[in-house]
Copies of this chain bind each other. A is one copy, B any other.
């Protein structure tokens, strides 16, 4: 560790690649009901349509932005200080928390007092907070008492992605305004399988969704740096990126860089799955610099504390770990409390047994002690910790299928049912809860997963890993799983846990992380489109208009990954002039179908018949006559 000079705390610095604004993009903020509710967005500037296609100005597009202050040139980033604590006042003013003198977990104290760790340690001056005795500080608890928190308002503004402002800018676009509005705002009605997404998200809607458990806002009171976000079926589909060093390879520095890299490309939350030597310190660096919620699997660290011997795990060690991590600010914990003793034998006939690390640890513990899981037995004790810090449950699917063979089997579905029962218990404590899902599932068995989850877990948000739709493509499991992720997102999953090309093979590097994220942004967006999420099609429409009009730079910049799009284009047609060309390398100037379409339209225009007239004549019914009369119908409108 110390061999990596980058990670001496005194000299730690941000990854430069993560702080450049994306091309033609700028950070904008929309203010809420009070000056300290400032919701960030990314605004993408567009160029004017070439004269041959109409010559209109194209208003900028606003997109959801997970990248935090990093992409705001106005913010000075110093990862040694961490991000500004934007929720600090919101938390303090609720008056239901107290500042502790220091970490209250034994392990947290031990690490803090170890002088050998000084040069690795993030230098945090702030003391941890905890709910006052008897208080419950979860967003769900507030929601159920009818309180709209600043977090909820933040989420509401964020989810609307300034859609109304964009549509207004279209309507106001001069003489072509109405035409542009109709073209660019149109969207297919979706099929949402019973989701209830309003045309506009209000703070009250957010409150209601959180109150009834259909959405969560992971927001630990010790992670005041986050920009609040919601995970729920009636919000935009979110994605999670996993990072984490391992016993074999990678360093703290790489993990912090993976976090900033992940959020740059669209990671809505990040799970820190570290298993190495300095888990505690790595986590602190990640949380202090993360504007997105951080999830962990506390059993991994608990196991480290007993030198990897699952049978030596105890509730006390696990409990201390929960408190340690809660006081650092972890926003959600994966807890494998559904791996019950009775279900373990159901995995005996499986192709791939138990593939979840957490699941297998608990299975080993249960068999070693011949008793029920301590996570299950202490579930209400865990709830007490969760609500004292507002850590959300991510109820782990420790028995998820690791192969197509094992999909939707009794072990998996028994655990799912238990997760539903535990959801009810968590909700009794007003603890925010989401449910983890598989895994490896062939396409035709995916919907059953979603339907059972909705029914048995009472619409608590579903958070799935893929699912992978085949086992036969190691090296491409971002794709095998991206297919399943898009589908289950459409059916109702609220957050998709990404899979990288390295799945099953090795640790992802930055390229893999980006490939995983972009694949999952595609899946999430395809799901939003299919659900008919209001406004989801705005970006598709804008990009397709740019594509049709050969606005190459706009096409790149409106895409999920402008850099790659531009590089790919330049590989074939490198000259700058080619980005103004009204044809592309696939067809060349003669064959370009878009050019021919436009030629056809121009030809029509020359006949001198106005748009309005052509439309009045009932274009579609009388098409043949029109064409015979002089092809006057061929123009965009």
Contacts and interface: CB of A to CB of B under 8 A. Distances in A.
Nearest to A307: B590
A410 B620 contact: yes
- Count of this chain's copies in the oligomeric assembly: 2
Interface in A490-519: 490, 501-502, 504-507, 509, 518-519
Given A472-B559, A475-B564, A569 B348 contact: no
Interface in A577-614: 584-594, 596-601, 603-604, 614
Contact of A587 (B357, B526, B591): B357
Query: Interface of chain A, helix or strand or loop or mixed?
Result: helix
A444 interface: yes
A491 to B, nearest CB: 10
A227 to B, nearest CB: 22
A59 to B, nearest CB: 17
A561 B477 CA distance: 12
Contact of A351 (B308, B355, B548): B548
A364 interface: yes
Interface residues of A, number: 143
Given A351-B183, A352-B594, A483 B522 contact: yes
A47 interface: no
A370 interface: yes
Contact of A525 (B440, B470, B548): B470
A308 B470 contact: no
A389 interface: no
A306 to B, nearest CB: 10
Indicate the member of A307, A344, A545, A561 with the most B CB atoms within 10 Å. Answer: A344
Given A471-B547, A479-B482, A345 B620 contact: yes
Contact of A348 (B300, B482, B633): B633
A127 interface: no
Given A348-B637, A354-B593, A360-B596, 11 more contacts: A186-B405, A191-B444, A344-B623, A352-B548, A353-B594, A357-B593, A364-B600, A469-B526, A473-B561, A475-B565, A479-B479
Interface of A: 183, 186, 188, 190-191, 246-249, 275, 300, 303, 307-308, 310, 341-349, 351-357, 359-361, 363-364, 366-368, 370, 402-405, 407, 410, 440, 442-445, 469-476, 478-480, 482-483, 486-487, 490, 501-502, 504-507, 509, 518-519, 521-523, 525-527, 529-532, 537, 539-541, 543-545, 547-548, 555-556, 558-561, 564-565, 567-569, 571-573, 584-594, 596-601, 603-604, 614, 619-620, 623-624, 626-628, 630-631, 633-637
9 contacts: A345-B619, A345-B626, A349-B637, A354-B600, A364-B596, A405-B544, A442-B526, A444-B532, A474-B547
